Chain A
């Protein structure tokens, strides 16, 4: 069932190769299997959160259709990486120029994270889809189908992927643990599931990252890994400001932002969430949140996000003075 190739990244090594291997999306699998065996594939839109099998299913469709030549007949593009629709169009053009190999009359283009494209870019994509319908079928994936413009939605068969249940992810984790000779208890599985937030890729990555530290995987180890992903440092930045040390506060902020290459908009989100946990008057929390909103607005209007964040830190300095 699972094809064990030489890859040592488990999300790839244990990626299902056949329709039967996919967990959780029974109803979708049935319909897509029928379409594939009939060799009559429409454009498709796979909608749903990350890590529930959208890319996997697209690859399986290509493998089932083209067998050994699937790589020649399958183009995978990521809309959030490709620099603009022009790049997408050019790649599609180059790929669609030649006819498909074998007895399938079309090739498959998988455009991942299509909802990262702007409305204008999607309009351009729509035209591209029409131009190449005779030689290509598009499979688009997105997190939210509402972010895909109507004309594209109407040209696609939409498949809404379900969030994976705990038993689905557990099944996968246990299978891998067995294959890799890992020891892991129920509690560790529980922690991995919680940490994955229903994202199977993340669950497997978490398992492999844990296994890279120790083959005995405990809930504590998984938790430690999970906590290292959180930017706890924002709290320190705010603490310095509240204590009146503006210089230290801004220095720390710059450190945090540069080390993890965090954008200003992400910093302000963390600050906004953190305010409610601060040890200050509720009234002050409201004031600070109001200021945070104002600064988030200026962040969009201004040119230098760090200066805007400094202005927010200055408000915290003022709050620390009790004003």
Chain B
């Protein structure tokens, strides 16, 4: 059994095989040439762009195409000065044992911290004295902490991949894997990947080994670009309320109603006591405006919903607590959905009972604890309960008897 992930297995070995990033390829080649001639204006090249568009792949292809050794450095794993030193210095100061050159790849520099443990200053120092070309990759290069790094590197922005490119690459992989996947399904995967090729290939992998008839486009879920909401939460909860606070949500790709759920979920992890109470109060007010927007279609009220969710929540605690908070995904909607699925059995049993007994569904549901006990095997047959309903009824009765100690009455006789 082959356990290499598909996207690793089909990672292009040459630059020309990387689709949709032609400008970046030209500039990478030019940078390498200039560097070797000692004419490069900047000593490192920084590829930045969203996840899964080929930043790492480009660096790898650049190396293998020129028969260079790639020295990969995942900055997420190296958060302190010592480690960066150990790994970077020997390779920058010594020439490779073999005559061929070497490229240093500093991957995902977003994870490097700016101050507490160093890392970024060290990286910049290394860029200045490195004898080898350095390729740096980052998702969001416009963060404050990267201002110096931006000046030291040649910036190359990678764009989201075209739907067409993603689709072509998927088809190509299916062909190479000798599989058959319905074209509509591939189109669905490509569309839902939103230009994230790695995501698309992962999705493809999730269905390529499944029987075609069980797979439906709906099984491929759109990826939330959750990175953005985390930053937004951070600036609401961790930055002193300022004139930009109410703009926090403008740049993230998420509806305000969904943001409201994220805020709701995470307030207690940031605020305690009176600050918590204040924040929830603003959340409640934001929701009142949300209700008015929906009922009256008065969209002007969106201003207030946004205001309470941003400045309101932020101002609940004027003296911010620094440090890292692990924000959590809202789960309430999922829980409601699951409970509804479970309660669907309860409802359908109640409907059958209600019809039999000439009462309303509502009353049957209200008295369900009695109804469940009354429905014996005979009635289960008569009401033609499905297997699922039977199983639910059995569980429900069991739980009821245990929770209220009803079994002891049965034992007495």
Tell me whether A271 is interfacial, beta carbon within 8 Å: no
Tell me whether A317 is interfacial, beta carbon within 8 Å: yes
Whether B358 and A59, one on each chain, are in contact in the complex, defined by CB atoms closer than 8 angstroms, is: yes
Q: Which of B360-413 contact A (CB under 8 A)?
A: 360-363, 365, 367, 369-371, 373-376, 378-379, 382, 400-401, 403-406, 409-410, 412-413
Whether A307 and B335, one on each chain, are in contact in the complex, defined by CB atoms closer than 8 angstroms, is: no
Whether A216 and B378, one on each chain, are in contact in the complex, defined by CB atoms closer than 8 angstroms, is: no
Task: Given A78-B360, A213-B406, answer yes or no on A205-B371 (Cβ-Cβ < 8 Å).
Answer: yes
Of the candidates B260, B274, B361, B412, which one forms a contact with A214 in the assembled complex, judged by CB atoms under 8 Å apart? B412
Whether A228 and B400, one on each chain, are in contact in the complex, defined by CB atoms closer than 8 angstroms, is: yes
Tell me whether B287 is interfacial, beta carbon within 8 Å: yes
Contacting residues, chain A, for B375 (C-beta < 8 A): 9
Tell me whether B114 is interfacial, beta carbon within 8 Å: no
Q: Say which one of B81-89, B212-220, B288-296 lies at the interface with A.
A: B288-296
A202, A212, A301 — most chain B CB neighbours (10 Å): A212
Q: Say which one of B5-13, B52-60, B238-246, B278-286 lies at the interface with A.
A: B278-286
Tell me whether A293 is interfacial, beta carbon within 8 Å: no
Contacting residues, chain B, for A55 (C-beta < 8 A): 358-359
A63-B403 Cα distance, complex, nearest whole Å: 43
Tell me whether A321 is interfacial, beta carbon within 8 Å: yes
Q: Say which one of A96-104, A149-157, A219-227 lies at the interface with B.
A: A219-227
Tell me whether B264 is interfacial, beta carbon within 8 Å: yes
Tell me whether B276 is interfacial, beta carbon within 8 Å: yes
Of the candidates A80, A221, A254, A295, which one forms a contact with B409 in the assembled complex, judged by CB atoms under 8 Å apart? A221
If over half of A's interface residues share one DSSP class (helix, strand or loop), that class is named, otherwise mixed; here it is: helix
Binary per-residue interface labels of chain A (167-188) against chain B in the complex, 1 for a CB within 8 Å, 0 otherwise: 0000000000000000000000
Tell me whether B322 is interfacial, beta carbon within 8 Å: no
B361, B379, B403, B406 — most chain A CB neighbours (10 Å): B406
Whether B284 and A81, one on each chain, are in contact in the complex, defined by CB atoms closer than 8 angstroms, is: no
Contacting residues, chain A, for B405 (C-beta < 8 A): 224
Q: Which of B261-314 contact A (CB under 8 A)?
A: 264, 268, 273-274, 276-277, 280-281, 283-284, 287-288, 290-292, 294
A90-B403 Cα distance, complex, nearest whole Å: 45
The chain B residue with its CB closest to the CB of A304 is B287
Whether A214 and B357, one on each chain, are in contact in the complex, defined by CB atoms closer than 8 angstroms, is: no
If over half of B's interface residues share one DSSP class (helix, strand or loop), that class is named, otherwise mixed; here it is: helix
The chain A residue with its CB closest to the CB of B397 is A212
Task: Given A8-B376, A205-B374, answer yes or no on A302-B362 (Cβ-Cβ < 8 Å).
Answer: no
Task: Given A205-B371, A212-B373, answer yes or no on A311-B283 (Cβ-Cβ < 8 Å).
Answer: yes
Q: Which of B329-361 contact A (CB under 8 A)?
A: 332, 335-336, 339, 343, 346, 353-354, 356-361
A76-B401 Cα distance, complex, nearest whole Å: 35
Whether A9 and B374, one on each chain, are in contact in the complex, defined by CB atoms closer than 8 angstroms, is: yes
Of the candidates B287, B343, B363, which one forms a contact with A261 in the assembled complex, judged by CB atoms under 8 Å apart? B343
Tell me whether A269 is interfacial, beta carbon within 8 Å: no
Of the candidates B277, B288, B343, B357, which one forms a contact with A317 in the assembled complex, judged by CB atoms under 8 Å apart? B277
Whether A216 and B362, one on each chain, are in contact in the complex, defined by CB atoms closer than 8 angstroms, is: no
Contacting residues, chain A, for B332 (C-beta < 8 A): 254, 306
Whether A304 and B413, one on each chain, are in contact in the complex, defined by CB atoms closer than 8 angstroms, is: no
A85-B345 Cα distance, complex, nearest whole Å: 26
Contacting residues, chain B, for A220 (C-beta < 8 A): 409
The chain B residue with its CB closest to the CB of A208 is B374
Of the candidates B287, B346, B361, B404, which one forms a contact with A307 in the assembled complex, judged by CB atoms under 8 Å apart? B287
A291-B413 Cα distance, complex, nearest whole Å: 50
Task: Given A112-B360, A258-B339, answer yes or no on A321-B274 (Cβ-Cβ < 8 Å).
Answer: yes
Contacting residues, chain A, for B294 (C-beta < 8 A): 303
Whether B358 and A224, one on each chain, are in contact in the complex, defined by CB atoms closer than 8 angstroms, is: no
Binary per-residue interface labels of chain A (189-233) against chain B in the complex, 1 for a CB within 8 Å, 0 otherwise: 000000000000110011011001111101011001101110000
Whether A318 and B369, one on each chain, are in contact in the complex, defined by CB atoms closer than 8 angstroms, is: no
Of the candidates A112, A216, A247, which one forms a contact with B268 in the assembled complex, judged by CB atoms under 8 Å apart? A247
Tell me whether A239 is interfacial, beta carbon within 8 Å: no
Within the complex, the shortest CB–CB distance from B305 to chain A, in Å, comes to 10
Whether B276 and A314, one on each chain, are in contact in the complex, defined by CB atoms closer than 8 angstroms, is: yes
Tell me whether A289 is interfacial, beta carbon within 8 Å: no
A56-B289 Cα distance, complex, nearest whole Å: 48
Of the candidates B273, B283, B290, which one forms a contact with A310 in the assembled complex, judged by CB atoms under 8 Å apart? B283
Task: Given A302-B287, A307-B283, A307-B284, answer yes or no on A209-B370 (Cβ-Cβ < 8 Å).
Answer: yes
Whether B378 and A8, one on each chain, are in contact in the complex, defined by CB atoms closer than 8 angstroms, is: yes
Of the candidates A205, A227, A254, A311, which one forms a contact with B281 in the assembled complex, judged by CB atoms under 8 Å apart? A311
Task: Given A78-B360, A259-B339, answer yes or no on A301-B292 (Cβ-Cβ < 8 Å).
Answer: yes
The chain A residue with its CB closest to the CB of B372 is A209
Whether B274 and A323, one on each chain, are in contact in the complex, defined by CB atoms closer than 8 angstroms, is: yes
Of the candidates A9, A113, A307, A313, which one forms a contact with B360 in the assembled complex, judged by CB atoms under 8 Å apart? A113
Tell me whether A287 is interfacial, beta carbon within 8 Å: no
Whether A311 and B280, one on each chain, are in contact in the complex, defined by CB atoms closer than 8 angstroms, is: yes
Contacting residues, chain A, for B376 (C-beta < 8 A): 8, 212
A208-B291 Cα distance, complex, nearest whole Å: 45
Contacting residues, chain B, for A212 (C-beta < 8 A): 373-374, 376
Whether A314 and B360, one on each chain, are in contact in the complex, defined by CB atoms closer than 8 angstroms, is: no
Contacting residues, chain B, for A213 (C-beta < 8 A): 373, 401, 406, 409-410
B290, B360, B400 — most chain A CB neighbours (10 Å): B360
A to B CB contacts below 8 Å, 17 in the list: A76-B358, A78-B354, A78-B361, A80-B361, A112-B358, A202-B370, A205-B370, A206-B370, A216-B412, A224-B409, A244-B273, A246-B268, A258-B339, A258-B343, A303-B290, A311-B280, A317-B276
**Given pairs A202-B370, A304-B287, 13 additional interface contacts (CB within 8 A):** A8-B382, A9-B356, A11-B357, A112-B358, A208-B373, A216-B412, A225-B373, A228-B400, A298-B284, A302-B290, A310-B280, A311-B281, A314-B280
Closest 3 CB pairs of A and B: A311-B284, A258-B339, A303-B291
